[in-house]
Amino acid sequence: GTIHLFRKSQRSLVGKLTHEFRLVAADRRSWKILLFGAINLICIGFLLMWCSSTNSIALTAYTYLTIFDLFSLVTSLISYWVMMKKPSPVYSFGFERFEVLAVFASTVLAQLGALFILKESVERFLEQPEIHTGRLLVGTFVALFFNLFTMLSVKNKPFAYVSEAASTSWLQEHVADLSRSICGIIPGLSSIFLPRMNPFVLIDIAGALALCITYMLIEINNYFAVDTASAIAIALMTFGTMYPMSVYSGKVLLQTTPPHVIGQLDKLLREVS
């Protein structure tokens, strides 16, 4: 008979993935993530329809943040899977590396999406199409509500650690002075805004604000080019937010020594010598 070289390995890989997914899905702690994942897919479906009906590339750029939320939920699911797995002879140090790989892949994909938006925006500047505002605000607030609700409701250990350990994004640096001023007036907000604001919450709010400005300018002056400008702004904010986390998780994958440790190692080596 005919010999199929690769069919068996493909089936075994799918079978292994299905088995591991069932293992995680059997844990009650993962049900919340799976529920949010299902709602996320429904939201993405509606948002993509509204992107098509409004012809807004800014709303498309903002929808990519909801797609990133789906990646973050998958990362959280992988985190639960890692906690359930015991070290094996092949992975004697455990499976934590998969968490780092998931964070790295998610942030890189988000940046690729931002680059795609930038490319499309440049083309739109040459020939700006008409934007329909009918579902623009609805899509904005649906995406904002779901993104914030997901980020604040689902515990995501890998992204929480990387976002704190990675260097500050340029968006966080620009908002830092404003945050200190607000906390000086209302000290109770210091737990939210200081020492630095959550980068995911920050980009969600900033993106929604850009879309609201877009809606107002189109309604008042039919200034359709502002939609393209907002798309570029959201794409740049996405890239600027994800890049430090990509660099940090990439260095962890390469097992490089963190910069703050190098100085301590030099000091210890000098003391020993």
Q: Is residue 242 part of a domain?
A: yes
CA distance 216 to 208: 13
CA distance 146 to 65: 10
Query: What is the largest distance, in Å, between two alpha-carbon atoms of the chain?
Result: 79
Q: Is residue 2 part of a domain?
A: no
Query: Residue 95's pLDDT is what?
Result: 66
Q: Is residue 1 part of a domain?
A: no
CA distance 205 to 141: 10
pLDDT band of residue 130 (cuts 50, 70, 90) is confident
- Lowest-confidence segment of 57-61, 148-152, 258-262 by average pLDDT: 258-262
Task: Give tens-digit pLDDT for 232-267.
Answer: 999 999 998 899 889 888 888 887 666 666 777 777
Q: Could you report how far apart the first and last alpha carbons of the chain are, in Å?
A: 70
**The model's pTM:** 0.80
Task: Give tens-digit pLDDT for 95-125.
Answer: 667 888 888 999 999 999 999 999 999 888 8
User: Which residue is it, tokens 């609700």?
Assistant: 149
Q: Is residue 261 part of a domain?
A: no
Task: Give tens-digit pLDDT for 176-213.
Answer: 677 666 666 666 555 555 566 778 888 999 999 999 99
Query: Residue 3's pLDDT is what?
Result: 55
Instruction: Please give the tally of structural domains in the chain.
Output: 1
Q: Is residue 166 part of a domain?
A: yes
| 183 close to 190: Cβ distance less than 8 angstroms | yes
**Domain range for 198:** 7-255
CA distance 159 to 99: 9
HEC string of the chain equals: CCCCCCHHHHHHHHHHHHHHHHHHHCCHHHHHHHHHHHHHHHHHHHHHHHHHHHCCHHHHHHHHHHHHHHHHHHHHHHHHHHHHCCCCCCCCCCCHHHHHHHHHHHHHHHHHHHHHHHHHHHHHHHCCCCCCCCCHHHHHHHHHHHHHHHHHHCCCHHHHHHHHHCCCCHHHHHHHHHHHHHHHHCHHHHHHHCCCCCHHHHHHHHHHHHHHHHHHHHHHHCCCHHHHHHHHHHHHHHHHHHHHHHHHHHHHHHCCCCHHHHHHHHHHHHHHC
Query: Residue 190's pLDDT is what?
Result: 57
Query: What own/partner pairs with CB < 8 Å and gap ≥ 24 does 251-259 have?
Result: 252/100, 253/97, 253/100, 253/101, 253/104
